[in-house]
Structure 1
C-alpha cells in the first residue's frame, strides 16, 4: 500500500518488546526503570519526587518550536531543520530508553547518565546552531541553552501543562523551560506489554473509554468551540476530496519541517493536493493534481493515520515514520472524510490568503500539556459526546468519529508564523475574534472509521486502535492533530466566502 522510500531500521516496537521480555515478572508485569532525580536536585530540589525516584516510561523535552515566536524569515528554513534535528534526537533517546530496560533496572542512575545526559549535550549544540541562525538573520540573541534539559516521566496522562505557552510569547522567562510541566508525575507502575505488537509503547487500557460513559456536552476545551452559530455568517461550504483512494502516505511535515525527510516521525493520510511532501514549494502545490471534485481546490488536508494494532505488517512496517518508530499495525482509512468550511457567530468572514498554513491539535500534547490539544473522538449516533483525552469504544453498529475544528481568526498579514500558531487564533467564548484578528472560514474535518471495538480484559486492552505519533508520546489520544494548507484559487475562495456570508449551504 502506497509509495515509500524511507531508510530501514530495526522497528522500535521490536526493541520495546525485547526490553519488556527481559524484564517480565509474574503474570507479564514489567519492572520499569528507576530514575534518580539528580538533575532536579541540582536545580535547588525543584520538581524532585518525594521519594527521590521516579519510574521512567518516556522522555519530556521543552518544545522549542512552540517557544520560538520571533524568528526572522531568512532564518526560518535553517531553524526548521535544526528543530527537526531536536525531534530526531528525542526519538533516538526514546529508542535507547526502550531497549535498555534491563540496564535501567540494575542502575538507578542509568537513565540520567546514559540517556538524558547525552541528550542534553546534543540538544545544547543544536540549540546553539538555532541561535546562530537567528542572529545571522538579524534576530535578537537569546539564551536557548535553558531548553536543553529533558526529563524522564511516567506513562500516564498529563495533568496539565502549557506546551511552552507560558512565556507570554516572549521566547523565555517562563517556568516551563526545563520541561517542568509534571505530566502527572507519580510513582505508579505503567501498564505492561499488552501483546498487541507495540510492546509497552501504548496505547493502554486507561486510554480508552466506553462512549456510554462520556457525559453529553461535557467537552469544555475552549479550542474545540465551533466558530459558527445561528447568527453572524451562517452559511457553509463543503468540499469533497475523497478518503485517500490514491494511497498517498508519507511521514513528512511540510508545515513544521520543510525540506526534512521524515519530519513528522509518523505517517500521514493525505487528501486533496497530490504533491504534498516536505520538499514541495508553493508553486509545486499550486501546479499539483488534486483529489477534490472541485478542481479549483488544490488545498492539502492531512492527518496522522489511524492504525489497528492487529499484527499486520503494513507497507511501512520497517520504515522510519512507521514500525521503525513504533507505529505498527494495519492502517485504517476513513470511510468518510468531510471537509466543511463554516462562518462566524458575530460577523462576516473574509477570504483566507492563499497558502496559509494552519495546524490544530498538538502532536506532543502528552509531554507538552493540554494548551493546544484540540481534536476529539466520538461515535456515530453519540456525537453530542466528545472526548479529547481518550479513544472511544463504540457499541455494535456505531463507528468511530475523529473531529477537528480549526482556528478561524487570522492576523490579516501572515500565512505562517515562527511557531506555526501565532498568525491564527480560536474565537473567544462569545464567538468573536481576538483584537487584531479577523474572521475567516473555519475548517471542520470529520473522519469516520469502521473500527473493530477493542476489549479490556484484566486491565489490558485487546485489539486497540491508535493514532500515529512521535514514539515518546506513547500513542496517547491527546496527541491527535490535523493540518491544512489553503490552495484554493481566488474564484473558489470568493465563492466560499459568499456562500458563508449569505447563509447558503454550498458544495
Structure 2
C-alpha cells in the first residue's frame, strides 16, 4: 500500500491588501508578495527592520520541468530525479531565507551572496546533468538550459507612502498599508503567517458572501468550463471511491517524480488505487487494491491535503512532506468526494488509454504565474460564487468546496509527456479539441470539507486552513492541483464511453 503516513484509522478577489499575493504575469511571471517575511525572526516586532534586504518573501526559480517538452522516454526517469533535486535545492534555500532574517537585516547583499549565489551554483550542476542525460539518450537538450539556473528573491513590498496617499508604484491606490502601518507600528502581519511561518495569512481568505455570483466554477485560465452541453456527448459517469477513510497518504508523486521519495514535498490524499507511491510501476498500479465501489476502477485520484492551523500537529509533524517541509496542522479528511466524468459539447468521446496521466492546476503557480493554474474554491449553498486566489470563509452550516476540472483532449498517442502537460489539453471556447486531439471523458473532482470558519481580527487570521504546498509556495490557494492516473479496466471504460456518448447518467 506504500508508505502510509497514518497507520491507524478509524479573478474574483477585488483588492490586494497587506499579506496578499498580487499576481503579475509580466516579468517572467513573478508574483510580488505584499507582506513582511520575518516569520522566523527571533526579535520582537519593535526590533524588526524595514531594510529592503530583509524583505524577501520567497524565492522564484524557473520551473525547468515545464520547459522540457522533448525528453527521450528512456531518459525521463533520470531527468525526473534531477528535477526533484532542483525542488529540494529551492526548499533548502527557502528554509535558509526564513531562518536568517537578522543576518539579512544587517547586510543588504546577504540574500544574493549567501542564498541565491550558492543556489545558482547547485542548479547549474544539476542542469548540466540533465543536459547530459538527455543528450546521451539521443535527445537534444535546450540550448539555453543553463540559463534556468538563476533564481530571484520575491520581495515583500514596503509600506512606503508618499504625501499624497499614493503608493510608490503610482497606481493611485495604497496597497501596502490599507490604512494601517504594517511594519514597526500598527498591525503587524506576523511574517508569512501559519503555524510553520510560511502561510497562510489573513488576506488569503475572503468571506464567500462578499463574492459576486459568477455562474459557477470556471478555473483561473478559463479552461475549466464543463465540457458537455446540449449537443455532442451529453451523458455522465460517476464512480464512488470513498473519502480516504483508509488515511492513505504520502508525499510522493509518481507522475512527476517517479522513484523519488518525498518528491512532492507535501502530503496527498489518495482514493481509488491503494498502491500509489513513488516506486509504483504501471503493473503495480494495475494490480493494486482499490477503494472504488466498482472494482473495475483501479484508477488513482489524488490531491494535496487540507490542514487546520489550530495549533495541533498531525502524525507527520517531524517527517518529510509534513513538518520538515513546512506543512503542519491537523489533516482534515474530505466529508464528500464526488468523481464524475462528462462528455464533450461538440463530439463523441473516445476511451482513455490505460495508464493515462493527467495533472490539472499547478503546485508552483505562486511563482510560476497563471498559465497552468486551475483552481475553484467555494462553499456549499454558494457554488455560483467562486474564488481562485483566496480560501473561502463559509457561513455557519456551509462547507468548503474544492472543484477541479481536468483536461479532456488527448493527443491520441501518449499516456504522458515530458512535462506532463503537452499530451493533453483543455477544450477550445466552442468545446472542441484542436491540433488533431481527440475528446476523452472529462474528469471533474468535487471535494467538500467541514471546516470551522476562519476569523480575521486586526489583520490576523484565527482557525485558518490551507492546502499543503512546497515550502516556498507559502500555502497559497492558487497552488491547488489535482492528479489522475487511469486504470479503468477495458470493459468498464467502454461502458463509460457508451454511457456518455448515448446521453445517459450512469454509475
TM > 0.5 between the two? yes
- When residues 151 and 129 of structure 1 are mapped into structure 2, their CA distance, relative to the original with a 3 A threshold, is same
Q: 2:202 aligns with which of 202, 205, 230?
A: 205
CA distance in 1, matches of 2:65, 2:88: 14
Could you say which residue in structure 1 is the equivalent of 2:31? none
Q: Aligned equivalents of 2:48 and 2:265: distance in 1?
A: 26
Output the CA distance in 2 between the equivalents of 1:379 and 1:293: 27
Pick from 22, 27, 43 the counterpart of residue 42 of structure 2: 22
Q: Give 1:472 deviation, angstroms.
A: 0.2
| Aligned twin of 1:456 | 456
Aligned twin of 1:151: 152
Alignment of structure 1 residues 194-343 onto 2, 5 Å: 198-217=195-214, 221-343=221-343
Q: Does residue 395 of the first structure (1) align with residue 395 of the second (2)?
A: yes
Aligned mates of 2:392, 2:474 — CA distance in 1: 17
Q: Which residue of 1 aligns with 2:165?
A: none
CA shift in 2, pair 1:30/1:483, >3 Å: farther
Distance in 2 separating the partners of 1:85 and 1:195: 25
Q: Is 1:383 the equivalent of 2:383?
A: yes
CA–CA distance in structure 1, aligned partners of residues 71 and 334 of structure 2: 37
Count of aligned residue pairs for this structure pair: 447
Aligned equivalent of 1:169:
none
Uncovered stretches (5+) of structure 2, i.e. residues with no partner: 7-35, 158-174
2:52 to 4, 15, 34: 34
**Compared CA separation, residues 339 and 18, structure 1 to 2 (3 A):** same
Contact 2:196 2:327 in 1 (8 A): no
Matched, 1:62 2:47: no
SS of the aligned residue for 2:328 comes to: coil
SS at match of 1:301: strand
- Equivalents in 2 of 1:322, 1:285: separation in Å? 25
- What secondary structure does 1:22 align onto? coil
Show CA shifts across 1:401-429 (max 9, x none). 00000000000000000000000000011
Aligned ranges for residues 420-439 of structure 1 at < 5 Å?
420-439=420-439
- C-alpha change, 1:378 and 1:226, in structure 2 (3 Å) is same
In structure 1, the residue matched to 2:4 is 3
1:105 matched to 2:110? The reply is no
Q: Take 2:40 and 2:419, find their aligned partners in 1: how far apart are those partners? A: 37
Shift of 1:213: 1.5
Matches within 5 A, 1:335-354: 335-354=335-354
Q: Which segments of 5 or more consecutive residues in structure 1 lack a partner in the other structure? A: 6-15, 36-53, 157-185
| Distance in 2 between residues matched to 1:154 and 1:195, nearest whole Å | 12
Aligned equivalent of 1:13: none
Cα gap change, 1:199/1:487 in structure 2, threshold over 3 Å: closer, same or farther?
A: closer
Determine the C-alpha separation between the residues in 2 that align with 1:325 and 1:32: 27
Deviations 1:50-82 (A, max 9, x none): xxxx82010000000000001111110100000
The 3-state SS of whatever aligns with 2:492 is: helix
> Contact 2:221–2:371 at 8 Å: present in 1 too?
no
After TM superposition, give the deviation of residue 122 of structure 1 in Å: 0.1
Calculate the aligned-residue CA RMSD, in Å: 2.1
